Structure 1
Amino acid sequence: MLQYDLSHQAAVMTAVNDFIDYQLNDGFNQTDFIAHLSVLIPAFQVFDQEGTERCISVGMFRNMMRFVEAHRGDLGIEAYLMQLSPKEISNLQTHLRNHRSLYLAEIRLFRQQEKDNQDNFLAYVQRILIDHYKVLVVRVDLGYLKASMLNITVQDFYSHIESLRHLLKDKNGCFKHLLGYGLALEQGITKGYHAHLMLIYNGSERCQDWYLANEVILKWHEITQRVGYGVSSNTTEKKKQYADRGLLGIGMIHRNQPLEMQNALNVACYLTQPEKFMQRMLIKPLGKRTFFKGIYHEHGRKYKNNHPTSAEAGIWSEQDVDDLLDEPIVI
């Protein structure tokens, strides 16, 4: 039996996705199938919202919920499901399996979109790195306190993200001398809705990356009215860990240092990963994106890049990512 956290919207949508994924790939026996539906449908009803785009799996589940609602009459959800005949349960399971091709197509589309985002973002970051003798790279993860997740909907999350993007565009305060950024939105059971943010500052104008990271996190606290929190990758301790393993791609990055350049590109790679299908946004406001990058205006001067960088060389292993690019810790 799958185990669920059903305490907040992001967790419920992830639980629904996991249920559908398991049914399509392994398949529940009829008893477990009904037991899961009896728990998930009421939880889903609490957090379902109009005006949202739903991924294929959540949409499939929602259609099943609506079918149950249309047929249960005066019976409670669990009572209705428990009295279904084996054939009726089999029909429900078959209905889901008939949509497996759509689910697989969504996986392929996600991977292609993430690959396109990754290619575009790497080219964008590389242009900034080559254009400037030195840049200051800051990486923070932004999420919500566990105690507040119950009240955070995807609409709230996107409202907070839009406020953050306005500040990034204005380039004042802790975003002054910002050259570019990447912002990736994800969700999960333990972390809820969260964002990975990479900031690239003009290194001739900015220093003290640890201070800027902390200021960005404080700005997130302000935007979320103190229910949000952040984790900085730019602490002295973490940067020493990166440096000890030859992976330091944050802090001050110099154009004439090929390893620094490559590692900075590897940090950029992490924001868009085709393999992170299970951490994608399962629901979002209509027409909204899940990845954003800034607009960079080249200054027109051309520099010869004597140390060409490649997205293929020195890519971090999965263990490197787990060890050194910490996901937000739920507090």
Structure 2
Amino acid sequence: MVSILNQNKINEATLLIEIERFIQSSLNSARQPRSFYQNFADLLLDFHQVYDPDFSYSCLIEPFCRLLYDYDLEYESPESLCKLLKQTPFRQWQSDFDLNWTDHLDEMRQHRFSEKQNAQKIDSRLNLLIDEYSALLVVRVDLSYVANISIEQVDDDLEILRRKINRSQYGDDVLLLIWALEQGESTGYHCHVALVFDERKRHGAWRIAKAVGDWWKEITDDQGKYFNCHDRRYLKKYEERDVVGIGVIYSNVPYQVNKMRSTLSYLARPDKAQYLRVKTSTKMRSFGMSQVKAKINRRNCYKR
């Protein structure tokens, strides 16, 4: 299946972060910032182009959602909208934005709590695998886009990819699949994917990561790109710092296990500011894990 991409010139992921920063800086300003109204008008007009009333937006984006219903932006220019916005004093805009600040703080606390829970779940499931298998093959690949894309398309593409992995030649051997969807200012929407295998059954982490990346490019009609975390030049930098936590991990080598835990827990690190500012619905997930495929008969567990 080939994705139909949103070729909008406006980068939705970057724009939402800019709006969030604009509101935060406005709230922190003791006086009206230079070009406040012009920046306000430009951001609001751009937001009008990407806004979807069926989507769920984060608390600091909500003021802009409300404004789309207060102003008819269909025929407004940046200059005319700037004049309309100036009819409301800067202090009043600060007060309006401040109505969402407490909700934003609560939203961030909930996000950190959820990410800590996710990190604990990763650790718990890794414990099961370490107990069951003497050696694991940890594969990681990072996915992103070369084109501007909507969150709806990202969600659809990732769902197709997860099904593709499950139905592939690797599907039955995946002991654990972890994925984390993020939103970065320079990287846009991107996803970290990790797969854990029994090292006895699967070899060649680079080859597996490349297969996942190629599927991603196929699904996105070559508008997606990927980074193979098993590239030798990339690994060399981390080997020199002794922080490699992917590839072959021996369960009886503590420092390798600790590096693996650190690498995979990064996918759920709560202090990263790359949370989603928009979701297709309140139920949309930005993080997921498969159930662990542990051995039933411990006596058959492969030992080196």
**Contact conserved, 2:38 with 2:78, CA < 8 A, in 1?**
no
Among 226, 239, 253, the residue aligned to 2:249 = 253
| Residue identity matched to 1:268 | L
Q: Give 2:276's aligned residue.
A: 281
**Contact conserved, 1:34 with 1:81, CA < 8 A, in 2?**
yes
Q: Give 1:202's aligned residue.
A: 198
**CA deviation map 1:107-163 (0-9, x unaligned):** 111111111111112211232222111111111100011xx22xx211110000000
Q: How many residues align?
A: 290
Q: Structure 1 pair 231/27, CA: closer, same or farther in 2 (3 Å)?
A: farther
Among 60, 66, 78, the residue aligned to 2:69 = 66
Q: Give 2:291's aligned residue.
A: 295
Instruction: Tell me how far apart the structure 2 counterparts of residues 80 and 39 of structure 1 sit (CA, whole Å).
Output: 9
The offset of 1:292, in angstroms, is: 0.5
Residues 192-201 or 20-29, more deviating: 20-29
Gaps of 5+ in 2: 1-8, 300-304
Q: Give 1:44's aligned residue.
A: 47
Q: Give 1:107's aligned residue.
A: 108
Say which SS state the counterpart of residue 137 (structure 1) adopts.
strand
| Residue identity matched to 2:128 | R
**Contact conserved, 1:143 with 1:191, CA < 8 A, in 2?**
yes
**Contact conserved, 1:30 with 1:89, CA < 8 A, in 2?**
no
TM-score (normalizing by structure 2):
0.88
Q: How does 1:1-331 map to 2 (within 5 A)?
A: 7-26=10-29, 29=32, 31-69=34-72, 76=77, 78-82=79-83, 88-145=89-146, 148-149=147-148, 152-170=149-167, 172-277=168-273, 279-286=274-281, 287-301=283-297
TM-score (normalizing by structure 1):
0.81
**Contact conserved, 1:68 with 1:77, CA < 8 A, in 2?**
no
The offset of 1:245, in angstroms, is: 2.0
| Residue identity matched to 1:128 | L
| Residue identity matched to 2:256 | E
Residues 263-272 or 173-182, more deviating: 173-182
**CA deviation map 1:5-55 (0-9, x unaligned):** x73111111211121222233466165321211110110011111321111
**CA deviation map 1:40-75 (0-9, x unaligned):** 011001111132111101112211333233xx8986
**CA deviation map 1:265-300 (0-9, x unaligned):** 0111110111113x1111111121100111113323
Q: Structure 1 pair 302/192, CA: closer, same or farther in 2 (3 Å)?
A: same
Instruction: Tell me how far apart the structure 2 counterparts of residues 75 and 220 of structure 1 sit (CA, whole Å).
Output: 39
Gaps of 5+ in 1: 1-5, 304-331
Residues 184-193 or 224-233, more deviating: 184-193
Instruction: Tell me how far apart the structure 2 counterparts of residues 197 and 27 of structure 1 sit (CA, whole Å).
Output: 43
| Residue identity matched to 2:262 | N
| Residue identity matched to 2:209 | A
Q: Structure 1 pair 85/291, CA: closer, same or farther in 2 (3 Å)?
A: closer
**Contact conserved, 1:144 with 1:227, CA < 8 A, in 2?**
yes
Q: Structure 1 pair 209/176, CA: closer, same or farther in 2 (3 Å)?
A: farther
The offset of 1:83, in angstroms, is: 5.2
Q: Structure 1 pair 75/270, CA: closer, same or farther in 2 (3 Å)?
A: closer
